[in-house]
A and B are shown apart, each in its own frame.
Chain A
Amino acid sequence: MENQHHWPLYEVFIRARGGLDHKHVGSLHATDARMAIEHARDLYTRRQEGVSIWVVPSVDIVASDPGESAALFEPARDKIYRHPTFYEIPDEVKTL
């Protein structure tokens, strides 16, 4: 098991059905991209969860800094008018 610590981490995205977006489902270790796809297939699609797989080396993901979350996200908090809750929805519209 110790060797596994040297295997790079990949993030896995699965498309559940044609027309849907790929969704992040988890991560895994693999030595290369081909193995990452195979592991993703074995780990995350064994119960027919998907029709397409993306794997992305975790090191290539640029993430926002949790320390900056106040600056990034709090200014949106008091702008509730951005939510579409002020519209009257006509009765005829069933699926919104």
Chain B
Amino acid sequence: MSAAATATTAATATTANAAATAADAVGPRASLAYLLRLGDLSLVLGQRLGEWVGHSPALEEDLGMANIALDLIGQARLLLSYAGEVEGRGRGEDEIAFLREHGEYLNATLAEQPNGDFGHTIVRQVLLDAFQLELYQRLAASADARLAAIAAKSVKETRYHLRYSAGWLVRLGDGTEESHARVQSALERLWPLTVELFAADEIDRAMADAGIAPPLEQVRAAWAARVDALLAEATLERPRDQSHAWFGKQGQHSEHLGYLLAEMQYMQRTYPGARW
């Protein structure tokens, strides 16, 4: 190893030590919120996909979507466990996942949107898979070693998720007249909710400044390039950006989240502390 390379390695190590965790770098409150945003996105999206089990257009799709849902819930477990430790009130993954109130969930509003038809679910999935892929790829280089490790594991799963959802987007978009019309209309309905994914607030900026998370404008550029290419292949038209009222990552949700939580939380609230 050359002297210059050694020096670089040493410098990197020093930086990493200076901000070993997100909590050290930006304080526990901001890092807790950031971890909940990541974890809740996976949790809520996983719950939504799970609703397809037993109702998919084909047995093979049933298993495919259940598989993706399980990956997402696995990511949520890692992220919410970490969030529980950062919070420091002794809450584990289950308490965090199942015993919070509506406004305490910090997932982007897009994740909680109802499944609609299969094409609608696929559009939601493509938009979020592409987002998670670009985000996790960059989080894998986070100054927070634990977050980096979670992202490195998740990025492999997410690459497959996007392969699956993008395959369907192209098949449906470039399919029959009806399938094209359905996914185009789902795209029109869901597109406004993508604005929130990249609308950086003080938490996102603090994370980026500390090297914990990538700047969201960087994620947005990569996401847009990826999504545009997919839409072109699927012969779909990209809707115009417009503002929207929801801001799930600050706890302001659409009416759909309450119904989802009622079903998801039922078991833990009826049998508190139940394990299996």
Contacts and interface: CB of A to CB of B under 8 A. Distances in A.
Interface of A: 1, 3-4, 7, 28-32, 34-35, 38-39, 41-43, 46
Q: Is the interface of B mostly helix, strand, loop or mixed?
A: helix
A3 B64 contact: no
A3 to B, nearest CB: 6
A29 B163 CA distance: 18
A4 B167 contact: no
Interface residues of B, number: 12
Contacts of B58: 1, 3-4, 7, 29
Given A38-B163, A39-B60, 17 more contacts: A3-B57, A4-B57, A4-B58, A7-B58, A29-B60, A31-B171, A32-B171, A34-B167, A38-B64, A38-B164, A38-B167, A39-B64, A41-B160, A42-B60, A43-B60, A46-B63, A46-B67
Contacts of B60: 28-30, 39, 42-43
Nearest to A39: B60
Nearest to B60: A39
Interface in B153-170: 160, 163-164, 167
A35 B175 CA distance: 14
Contacts of A3: 57-58
15 contacts: A1-B57, A1-B58, A3-B57, A3-B58, A4-B57, A4-B59, A28-B60, A29-B60, A30-B60, A35-B171, A38-B163, A41-B160, A42-B60, A46-B63, A46-B67
Contacts of A1: 57-58
Nearest to B64: A42
Contacts of B160: 41
Nearest to B66: A42
**Most chain B beta-carbon contacts within 10 A, residue among A3, A7, A32, A38:** A38
Contacts of A38: 64, 163-164, 167
